[in-house]
Structure 1
Amino acid sequence: MTAQTAPIQDQIAAPDPSSASDTAAVERALMRIVIVGHVDHGKSTLVGRLLNDSGSLPEGRVESIRAMSERRGMPFEWSFVMDALKAERDQGITIDSAQIWFKSARRDYVIIDAPGHKEFLKNMITGAAAAEAAVLVIDAAEGVREQSRRHGYLLHLLGLRQIAVVVNKMDLVGFDQARYDAVVAEYSAYLSGIGVTATHFVPVAAREGGNIVDRATDTMPWYDGPTVIGALDGFTPAPVLDDRALRLPVQDVYKFDERRIIAGRIESGRLAVGDTVMVSPSNKTVRVRSIEHWGRGTQPVVAGTGRSVGITFDDQIFIERGDVISHVDQPPVLTDVFRARLFWLGRTPLAVGSSYVMKLATRQVRVTVDRIEKVIDAGSLSGADDGTVPVQVERNAVAEVVLRSRGLLALDAFNQLPNTGRFVLIEDYDTVGGGIISMDGYPDQRDAVTRKSTNITAVEHRVTPDARARRNGHTGGVLWLTGLSGAGKSTLAIELEQRLFAKGYQVFVLDGDNVRHGLNANLGFSPEDRTENIRRVGEVAALFAEAGFLVVTAFISPYRADRDRARVAAGAGFHEVHIRAGLDVCEGRDPKGLYAKARRGEIRDFTGIDAPYEAPEAPELTVDTGALGIDDAVQLVMSYIERTFAISRVL
């Protein structure tokens, strides 16, 4: 909200705590409600009438609006209660998100009146992001418009599940129940398509006041549901986040005296003096020495959600803005790749390979669009399931994308912790998109990068790699075959092993199914288990290679980060070979019948169906088994091995 709207805040503000009668009101529950809708559908009029009819307007406010309208030669407008900017009065639209206090017999409210015009969607999103529930206004005469659908989708995208739909201006359609039923049916069908069920539909005549606070029994006797204020009072407050996992994004670090004070706002959970906490993404643990306090009163020992705090640790560790403090047993996800559902506001399209600054809590980091999985027109829902591969996202469209960062990020899936599960994208200092995070199909990489062993010393071998190579006639190394199930990795690996052994190579195959019978028998197929499976295989393959073997691995290994860790383990001896075949080719082969089971829903998180496969960006070798027969494919790899690993034998 801009400074220009401040007079509204001053005139219609929170109850004065100095009054004994108002003190009880201050202590009551508070809920934030956002009101959205297509331009001219009557949002601000509804709010103005709601404030008046509930007795929330200060004395003289209605008279001042009436006088202003007369001076301008305009009819009296309830919307002027909210539309405080001159530009809004001149154009008859809401530009900025305005907030105002309001009360019912049950609770206090902060009403956020958000812009309805398409050009001010950023302001609407800003307002809705702070709300616990929403009222969406539709003109009964005009009916459901594109912006009505877009606003509904945005509310869903922002995680608002309590939505009351107000069908306004019933007086313009003669209070016709059939017209109301038609609007309800159309918009209910749209909401159902995005997985949303409206909490209530309420027919109103905002200008006249029908069904807002008092029931309009004379004009709409056929309606027996709640009034608008009744619908609001029926909303359930957001759950108290004090009971959720601790998340304290670091805002800054200050030096006072000998103290280093870490400042930030607790987004969820509770923090107490003496707690052992973890700092992500560094994985460092430390104990909270104090929660600092300035001014009168005693120094706190506990702080909860929403509290801005300064804390000190009992050990001086390096910590910086953007780090996230949590309890050790409930840390955030660590990842360099995640799925996101975002709303694109940029004037130039979002495209694969484009790079943006992502703001997540207090952290700003550059991310790259790795993949666009789906583009959805928020108005028509078209493009959701048409099977095409999108190449860009146009302005005001919703997209499901995969974003990747260069380093590990501490974050949460939106459905787990909303405050640390949503983000905005920035380009040239302008907000161009915002969205929510999903980890579906991707692992938490924390365990894969956490070293728990201590007090260990590496053993130095007396047999050098050169000596092994001279004995074997080839250097040791890892030939890492990666590709979709059915691409031919195992078939190719087993054939390679036989031919290489016949040529005198010290060679061994590590195959996915075989390894899971023993070394990795305790692992399942969740994203985290897949990451651990590849971590172990990568370390074992590196040991074989150090012993002078040529190790051929045959694993789907769908995550790029896992293969990168295997490359680090094996060093220069690691060679990535992409066994490439299209999904249609692999599914047509389906040698183990796994694709058929996945399509029937018998196997979940199956790579290529409902779990991602991240193809290598720059493999040392690509073998297209969709185009090559087995003999040609084997010969291609054999030629590569002879060029890369073979040396003159010393007998």
Structure 2
Amino acid sequence: MSFVREDMNIVIVGHVDHGKSTIIGRLLADTNSLPEGKLEQVKERCRRNSKPFEYAFLLDALKDEQEQGITIDAARCFFKTDRRDYIIIDAPGHIEFLKNMVTGASRAEVALLVIDANEGIQENSRRHGYLLSMLGIKNVVVLINKMDLVDYSEEVFNKIVKEYTEFLNKIDVEPNQYIPVSGFFGENIVASSEKTPWYSGSSVLEVLDGFDKEKLPDDKPFRMPVQAVYKFTGDGDNRRIVAGTIETGRIKVGDEVVFYPSGKRNKINSIELFNAEIPESAGAGSAIGFTFDEQIYVKRGEVVTIAGQPKPKVGNRIKVNLFWLGRQSMVKGKEYLLKVGTAKVPVRIEEITKVIDASNLQNAVKESIDRHDVAECILIAQKPIAYDLAQDIAQTSRFVIVDNYEIAGGGIILKDLEDDSAWLRDKVILRNNKWENSNISREERAEKYGQKQALICITGQKDVGKKSIAKELERKLFNDGRIVYFLGISNVLYGVDADIKHTDNDSREEHLRRLSEVSNILVDSGAIPIVTAVELSKGDVEIIETAVDSDRIIKVWVGEEVTTDIEYDLHIPNYDSLEAAVSKVKTLLQDRGIIFKPF
């Protein structure tokens, strides 16, 4: 029976030039964890260049950063003791690289926070402490480095400990230990130093080895963000595998699962692993896949849960605590990309409740969130997401915000807030929970009919020819052998909507919901329904997307002037004939792979 060594992730943070790289170099060298000959190679290079050797150069050599002289990206390096293997996530100290520190720290079990004894506590020392607190890293060890520059003064050490402890107490962080060290001379790094007889605590390495590895959160409610959905077709293999990494909890074959935010439900038929024996159960940290008793269609970004366990929150309005690191301030009215788990959704600020300077914890009332600010604010997402609150399940409460294709901020979700579409979402979740799946799969219908399911929404101002285009499109596709159906709004208004007052403007959302539900049944049958409506907005489309998968909806705007904020797939400003307009829509369907495109 082979023994698997335990490993532990640690992150090392600190203000620039406070000696993080030197400490890492010492840990690598003094535990004999460097590649063979690397220490001698770096010493020889320094000798040839008439440059004094420093242990920080070991890290620079490993990361090929010696020319820049600074650490510019979160990097992973390794050292080992008799007890375990350590993975160091070196988080940069330069302010411009702070976001990389956040990326690294989010995976760490222990944080080493380095402060220069000679320079004392700096702004970034406080910021790093605040961010580690937000990320929920409980094991924090503060290293007072460069003690050799202050003659190993107990007075200097105690002064820094007192000042930094007062700051950390305000943000509910209690360090496990403060250690006086000299990375340059290796004092108190792997063994206790005679230079600090007044210090009776352990060395850095002894403290690290004293930590028990954090237990995987198997005892929490099950959460697995869907990373991908794979469909196999070769050699009679018709499995559909939903894959991802388990964040919390355990799951076993036979468990009934619910996907959020869709609310779809199914039962686990098998647990799949790549190139490994198939297990009967799996827990937190496992990268796995599922197959199900029945065909089910879910997308990346949904969260898998176990029926009967506490549910995640679902909504598009959240109260958050976020830090901002973008070069441009975060402002109201601008759209950003929110990433929670594997979900990505456009988001904007609804309200900034308060802004905190993380270096001094001062509150301010501001209309924007500037670089290095920490803010409590309300975000509103374009679509509902599934998440947990930070106090319940930290793993699924963390998020990042992308601005102009770069991670510019991140934080934790504090509270779920009521939103306008909650009533609709609850109805759809209930519908999906009770939905009776057919034994005929979506792929079988598509193969039989020679088309993919889709809903075509034709919209625009009144009297621009929407209905004429829709009916001519129906005729064209029908003559081509497609399963297609024009669903006139009157068919719904005076049918399934007969109990609603047609003149009541407040009932528009309910009209759209019912239209969407009828459309969803047609789409599920494998057909291509075509609907028309006057001036659909982005909000209207969001209601439709709650009932019908968004990747199945084609939106066409007819008329020169686009009078709403809709994000259309095709704009027909004018046309010479119905045939020309229909041809444009048909070409779009072919380009999207919904109907056959001849070559």
Q: Is the TM value for this pair above 0.5?
A: yes
Deviation at residue 441 of structure 1 after TM alignment: 6.8
Aligned residues: 442
2:84 alignment partner, one of 61, 82, 107:
107
Q: Is the 8 A contact 2:317 2:417 kept in 1?
A: no
Which residue number corresponds to residue 400 of structure 1? Answer: 376
Which residue is 1:28 aligned to?
5
From the superposition, tell whether residues 441 and 223 of structure 1 become closer, same or farther in structure 2 (CA, over 3 Å). farther
- C-alpha contact (below 8 Å) 2:190/2:205 kept by paired residues: yes
Equivalents in 1 of 2:220, 2:418: separation in Å?
23
SS of residue in 2 equivalent to 1:185: helix
1:422 aligns with 2:398: yes
DSSP-derived class of the 1:318 partner: coil
Matched, 1:312 2:288: no
Q: Which of these residues, 386, 394, 397, is aligned with residue 410 of structure 1?
A: 386
Residues 1:125 and 1:477: Cα distance change in structure 2 (over 3 Å): closer
Structure 1 position 178 matched with structure 2 position 158: no
Structure 1 residues 105 and 292: CA distance shift in structure 2, 3 A: closer
8 Å CA contact retained: 2:43, 2:53: yes
Q: Map 1:227-626 to 2 at 5 A.
A: 227-257=203-233, 258-293=238-273, 295=275, 298-330=277-309, 331-383=311-363, 388=365, 390-439=366-415, 448-449=426-427, 450-451=429-430
Shift of 1:76: 0.5
Letter of the 1:48 partner, please give it: G
**Structure 1 counterpart of 2:37:** 60
CA distance in 1 between partners of 2:144 and 2:78 (Å): 23
Contact 2:191 2:206 in 1 (8 A): no
Deviation at 1:368, TM superposition (A): 1.5
Which runs of 5 or more residues in structure 2 are unaligned?
436-494, 507-538, 544-599
Q: Residues 300 and 138 of structure 1: is their aligned pair in 2 closer, same or farther, counting only changes over 3 Å?
A: same
Which residue number in structure 1 is paired with residue 511 of structure 2?
none
* Aligned position for 2:446: none
Deviations 1:396-451 (A, max 9, x none): 21111111123321111123222221111112211111111112776996995454
Q: Percent identity?
A: 45
**Alignment of 1:144 onto 2:124:** no
Other-structure match for 2:140: 163
Secondary structure of the 1:153 match is helix
CA distance in 2, matches of 1:401, 1:408: 18
SS at match of 1:80: helix
Equivalent residue, structure 2, for 1:131: 108
Question: Residues 167 and 202 of structure 1 are in contact (CA less than 8 Å); yes or no, is this contact kept in structure 2?
Answer: yes
Residue 316 of structure 1 and its aligned partner are, at CA, apart by: 1.4
- 1:237 deviates by 2.3
How many Å apart are 1:68 and its aligned residue?
Answer: 1.6
Per-residue CA deviations over 1:251-273 (Å, capped at 9, x if unaligned) read 22222132222122222222222
Q: 1:314 corresponds to which letter in structure 2? A: D
Superposed, which structure 2 residues align to 1:37-52 within 5 Å?
Answer: 37-52=14-29
Distance 2:37 2:197 in 1: 33
Q: Distance in 2 between matches of 1:141 and 1:112?
A: 25
CA distance in 2, matches of 1:240, 1:442: 32
Contact conserved, 1:35 with 1:136, CA < 8 A, in 2?
A: yes
Unaligned ranges ≥5, structure 1: 1-19, 467-474, 479-560, 566-651
The residue number in structure 2 matching 1:627 is none
1:423/1:436 contact within 8 Å kept: yes
8 Å CA contact 2:188–2:203 kept in 1: the answer is: yes
For 2:499 and 2:186, the matched residues in 1 are separated by 89
**Counterpart in the other structure of 1:595:** none
Partner of 1:606: none
**Alpha-carbon distance between aligned partners in 1 of 2:189 and 2:132, rounded to the nearest angstrom:** 22
Q: Which amino acid aligns with 2:270?
A: S
Q: Counterpart of 2:492?
A: none
1:293 CA displacement: 4.6
Quote the Cα distance in structure 2 between the aligned partners of 1:204 and 1:464. 77
Any idea what the Cα deviations from partners look like across 1:343-369, whole Å, max 9, x if unmatched?
Answer: 112221112232211111111111121
Describe the superposition over 1:293-335 as per-residue Cα deviations: whole angstroms up to 9, x where unpaired: 554x543222222222222111112211111111012231112
Larger radius of gyration: 1
CA deviation after TM superposition for structure 1 residue 29, in Å: 2.5
- Closer, same or farther: CA 287–63 of 1 in aligned 2, 3 Å: same
Q: Secondary structure at the match of 1:278?
A: strand
Structure 2 match to 1:90 = 67
- Displacement of 1:98 in angstroms is 1.8
Give 2:240's aligned amino acid.
R
Q: CA RMSD in A?
A: 3.1
Q: d(CA) in 1 for partners of 2:277 and 2:6?
A: 26
Cα contact 1:82–1:98 (8 A) shared by 2: no
**Over residues 368-413 of structure 1, what are the superposed CA-to-partner deviations in whole Å (9 max), with x where a residue is unaligned?**
2111111111111122xx5x3x210111211111111233211111
Question: Residue 97 of structure 2 corresponds to which residue in structure 1?
Answer: 120
Conservation of the 8 A alpha-carbon contact between 1:333 and 1:445: no
Deviation at 1:86, TM superposition (A): 7.4
8 Å CA contact retained: 1:242, 1:269: yes
Q: Which amino acid aligns with 2:57?
A: F
CA shift for structure 1 position 246: 1.4
Residue 118 of structure 2 aligns with an amino acid whose one-letter code is A
Which amino acid in 2 is paired with 1:262?
V
Amino acid at match of 1:284: K
Task: Decide whether the 8 Å contact of 1:82 with 1:113 is kept in 2.
Answer: no
CA distance in 2 between partners of 1:145 and 1:208 (Å): 23
The residue type equivalent to 1:382 in the other structure is Q
Q: Deviations over 1:449-475 (max 9, x none)?
A: 4548989xxxx99x9999xxxxxxxx9
State the distance in 2 between where 1:93 and 1:422 align.
29
Distance 1:477 1:309, change over 3 A: closer
Does residue 208 of structure 1 match 2:188? no
Residues 523-582 of structure 1 show CA distances to partners (whole Å, capped at 9, x for unaligned) of: xxxxxxxxxxxxxxxxxxxxxxxxxxxxxxxxxxxxxx9xx99xxxxxxxxxxxxxxxxx
Task: Name the SS of the counterpart of 2:362 in structure 1.
Answer: coil
Structure 1 residues 351, 228: closer, same or farther in 2, change over 3 A?
Answer: same
Higher mean displacement: 160-169 or 75-84: 75-84
Q: Per the alignment, do residues 46 and 260 of structure 1 end up closer, same or farther by CA in structure 2, a change over 3 Å counting?
A: same
| Equivalent in 193, 199, 214 of residue 176 of structure 2 | 199
Q: Distance in 1 between matches of 2:57 and 2:258?
A: 50
**Change beyond 3 A, Cα 1:236–1:370:** farther
CA contact (8 A) 2:317 2:416 kept: no
* Deviation for aligned residue 1:169: 0.6
Write the distance in 1 (CA, Å) between the matches of 2:426 and 2:232.
37
